[in-house]
Structure 1
Amino acid sequence: MVIVYFILILTGVIMVHELGHYLFARLFKVKVLEFAIGFGPKIFSVKGRETTFRLNVFPIGGYVRMLGEEGEEIADEEEKEKSFYAKPAWQRFLITLAGPLFSILAGYLLFLPITLNWGIALPGIDEVVPGSPAEEAELRRGDVVYSINGKIAFDTSIISNEIQKGLPVELVIIRNGEKKSLRLIPRMYPETYEFVLESAEGTPSGKLVSVNGNRDTSVLKEFVNEYVVLEFEGGTVKGILKQFNEIPARYMIGISFSGLAPVFKKDIYFKEGLFVFKKGDRIVRVEDQEIEGWQDLVVLYQRLTLGKDAMMVSLQGNDLEWWRGLSGSVRVVIKRGDSTIEKNVEASFLKNILETPDLLEMGVPRYKPKNPLEAVNLSVKACNYVLLTTASSLKNFFRNVQTGQIVGVVGLAGVISAASKTGLEAVLTVVAVITISLGVLNLLPLPALDGGRIIFSLVEMITRKRLNPQVENIIHFLGFIFLMILFLYITFLDIGRMMGI
């Protein structure tokens, strides 16, 4: 079924894009020979009055083939007038621009019914650190961050980037359906050490005093995959340092963001119709760990991943938090109505539950504007954010800064698969993001892409000199080869991410 979703979505997105080219070509009386979805051998075709509409085997793109577009000679004068290169540069510019423009506009139009029907996802607050600026401003668990310094908080990174400046911030939060403005001053927090010990012995307590006898505790990072002896004020811990992560000192306001709630969205069966958890059950404890929100679930998942003989430790200044891994049978305490129920389940089964999409409720509800005008405004701003984020990701990709934000066909199939398990809203959101991203991608000034053709048209409009169409098509052909190599590279990255490489 995922393959069907994938093909339908990709076909629809490509069709909208190519429709832009087709309609503007017809508007300027350019003869369209083919309107194709996909590349490769033909699956089927329909012959129109002038245009052959065809569906090809590989749904990784599409094209509108116009008369004379490949620079071929046309003997018939009447036909020549209908060719692509017979038209002035400004018309060719608009025909080429129409594809990306239709893609981007389709995304904007699709976001509006999503916002009107389901609302928009905004970051919620999961934990408030005692004594932090957030606690002093009376932020609470369950508050939703609407904006920071006038910027709508479509993503947690928007909030983090503003806080990292270290300047006072103006937050607008939503609490019980009402907006409330707060002013906070970020505070500098010390660096954080997060590490995992295997074959761990001992119990840490208090401040870290020494590492293998060295009182300069920053040398801990040098002992990855080695046996270490860690002296704390209240005890000694020994083990093999398997993972180490250092987070530098940074400005914070003392909040963690919400994700999923420890409340089951549907019944969970173990086997043969046997209920383990029922819809509405809330996890309140697993072994020695209290479970209140998303951050607790994150820690729980890490413990289930580590196994019994491992220990995970987080040190921030004098603040210490540590947990042992979990394996085998674990005791889970749930709240069902007014009753408290204890169950023993396998750690692997509980880990699988946390990995499965759409089994747990969201930590905070989506924000659904009461005013239609606000919904339109939010929808447009959400699309603007997607557009700018896509452009930034592409820039970073070509600078080789971040490749994790770019996905190809294989990665796209994974995204659609995850969305299809969540619901219609998630699928439509993915479609909107894909079509906007396709529009932005095609505006890149690379030969064979619409952006490359737009550049040629602009140069001709400015210089009033036309490049030989055959030379231009050779350049586009070389660009196509480059894009195919790039496509294979991104596919390799997708497969590597799937395999955890």
Structure 2
Amino acid sequence: MSWIVALLVLSVLIFFHELGHYSAARFFGVYVEVFSIGFGKKLASFQWIGTQWQISAIPLGGYVKMKGQDDLDPTAISNDNDSYNSKKPWQRIIILFAGPLANFVLAWFFFYAIALGGPQSLSPVIGKVLEASPAQQAGLKTHDKIIAINGVTITEWDELSEYIKTSQGTLTLSVDRNGTQRFITLTPRISEATNLFKEKIQQRMVGIAPEGVTHTLDLSFSETITYASKQTYETSFLIFQSVQKLLTGVVPAKEVGGVVSIVQITADATAYGWMSLCFFAALISVNLGVLNLLPIPALDGGHIMFNLYEMIRRKAPSEEVITRLTIGGWVLLLGLMSLGLYNDITRLMQ
């Protein structure tokens, strides 16, 4: 049952991505011939508002086929008023960007739903104090709860960690120890740490680790808006970073996952309740948005690149260039999908 839910979630994310393209295209008067969830053989379809809406056999994505646009045949253009090609480059860019934008907006709503449900956050309670660290030398102990730093209230472990990393000079910590408030002064030390991508970095640290205690965030209306916006931004930035680290070799190719990993992780999330499912749905939605903006000719980002070129040079790239780059883009995209599928199968076998 969880796998069915996962496939439904993935289909919903794809549907909204394509709905973004469809809505923008219709707004600019472009005739949309086909709206498909999935690729390959058509399984079911119906005709509505002049468009053929269909579900196809391979659930690896979807597409909106607009009049005058065909990724498999870049030369299949049309000069009719209701064709994609007849629109100005800036209009085409909006149509192309509308798909990824729909994914970012959808992710925001998922995070907003989580905010309304009362998300869990790691409390600033110390679980471990490292030997000979500034924290131990200053007298911090296990189970101490950090209330404030330099007069700034601390409610979450992430706030504590970020404040220490970006601080300068000596810090005065307000600590709750067994119901008694204490003030402890210490100076962070530059130490070597490992970031999310397993890179060695230097940062200010005091030598403490969290106890693992969590609390429920009781957010006001404005705070739910802020929470959803912050989560959407930070998740998007993290995925952009991940792509950059992958391209520079920091993240090994074996870490690339495919649709099997996506479905499996989403299926696992259903076992932990609706909030976990919403979180992973938001994460995947942002992934779809970010990856589709990459300047690969087979993706939205590649087409945006062609239109930006046309805006700057006042002429479109030659059909030969578009054809070659599009074929190259599909080869690269299929190669990445194959790599992801290979890694998925390898993980399943292990």
Q: Which of the five TM-score ranges fits, normalised by the shorter chain? A: 0.7 to 0.9
5+ residue gaps, structure 1, are: 192-246, 260-362
Amino acid at match of 1:110: F
**Structure-1 residue corresponding to 2:315:** 465
In structure 1, the residue matched to 2:283 is 433
Tell me the equivalent position of 2:237.
388
Q: 2:264 aligned to 411, 414, 436, which one?
A: 414
2:121 counterpart residue number: 121
The answer to whether the 8 Å contact 1:166/1:187 transfers is no
Equivalent residue runs for 1:220-235 within 5 Å:
none
Aligned partner of 1:257 among 210, 214, 220: 210
Give the alignment partner of residue 161 of structure 2, picking from 159, 162, 167: 159
**Cα distance change on mapping 1:394 and 1:188 into 2, 3 Å:** closer
Opposite residue 185 of structure 1, the aligned amino acid is: T
- What letter corresponds to residue 222 of structure 2 in structure 1? L
Instruction: Measure how far apart 1:117 and its partner are.
Output: 1.5
Residue 185 (structure 1) aligns with: 187
- How far, CA to CA, are the matches of 2:325 and 2:149 in structure 1? 46
1:443 matched to 2:313: no
CA pair 190-474 structure 1, distance change in 2 beyond 3 A:
closer
Shift, 1:492, TM fit: 2.0
Q: Distance in 2 between matches of 1:33 and 1:248?
A: 52
Write the distance in 2 (CA, Å) between the matches of 1:443 and 1:19.
16
CA distance in 2, matches of 1:114, 1:472: 43
Q: Assess if the C-alpha contact under 8 Å between 1:416 and 1:427 holds in 2.
A: yes
- Kept in 2, the 8 Å contact 1:147–1:173? The answer is no
Question: Which residue of the partner structure matches residue 6 of structure 1?
Answer: 6
Asked whether 1:72 is paired with 2:76, we answer yes
Q: What is the TM-score of this pair, normalised by structure 2?
A: 0.81
Secondary structure at the counterpart of residue 116 of structure 2 = helix
Aligned counterpart, 2:197: none
Amino acid at match of 1:395: Q
Q: 1:63/1:467 Cα in 2 relative to 1: closer, same or farther (>3 Å)?
A: same
Match of 1:346 in 2: none
Give the aligned partner of residue 302 of structure 2: 452
Inter-partner Cα distance in structure 1 for 2:156 and 2:30? 42
Partner of 1:19: 19
Which residue identity is paired with 1:60?
L
Relative to structure 1, is the Cα distance of residues 488 and 157 closer, same or farther in structure 2, using a 3 angstrom cutoff? farther
CA offsets 1:391-420 (integer angstroms, 9 cap, x no match):
000111111211476432122123213211
For the pair 1:378 / 2:331, whether they are aligned, the reply is no
In 1, Cα distance between equivalents of 2:190 and 2:31: 64
Deviation at 1:163, TM superposition (A): 3.7
Whole-angstrom distance in 1 between the partners of 2:349 and 2:63? 33
Higher helix share: 2
Amino acid at match of 2:205: M
Structure 2 gaps, min length 5: 194-199
1:141 aligns to what SS in structure 2? Answer: coil
| TM-score, normalization by structure 1 | 0.58
Query: Which piece of structure 1 moves more, 450-459 or 107-116?
Result: 107-116
Q: CA separation of 1:249/1:380 partners in 2, compared to 1, >3 Å: closer, same or farther?
A: closer
The separation in 2 between residues aligned to 1:450 and 1:384, in whole angstroms, is 20
> What are the superposed Cα offsets for residues 145-166 of structure 1, whole Å, 9 maximum, x if unpaired?
999999x999869938964998
Contact 1:122 1:145 (8 Å CA) reproduced: no
CA deviation digits over 1:208-260, x for unaligned, max 9?
xxxxxxxxxxxxxxxxxxxxxxxxxxxxxxxxxxxxxxx9998632222244x
Query: Higher strand share goes to which structure?
Result: 1
Structure 2: how far apart are the matches of 1:397 and 1:453? Answer: 23
CA RMSD in angstroms, aligned pairs only? 3.9
Q: Give me the whole-angstrom Cα distance separating, in 2, the residues matched to 1:147 and 1:437.
A: 35
- Cα 1:73/1:19, change in 2 over 3 Å: closer
Equivalent residue pairs, number: 333
Change (3 A) 1:81 1:451: same
Alignment of 1:62-461 (within 5 A): 62-70=62-70, 71-72=75-76, 74=78, 80-122=80-122, 124-129=124-129, 132-134=133-135, 136=138, 141=143, 143=145, 159=161, 163=165, 184-187=186-189, 252-259=205-212, 363-369=213-219, 371-403=220-252, 406-461=256-311
SS of 1:365's equivalent?
Answer: strand
**Counterpart of 2:143 in structure 1: which amino acid?**
R
Letter in 2 for 1:447: P
Which residue of the partner structure matches residue 328 of structure 1? none
> Per-residue deviation at 1:99?
0.5
Q: Name the % identity.
A: 30
Q: Tell which has more relative contact order, 1 or 2 (C-alpha 8 A, sep 6+).
A: 2
Are residues 124 and 54 of structure 1, via their aligned partners in 2, closer, same or farther at CA, if it must alter by over 3 Å?
farther
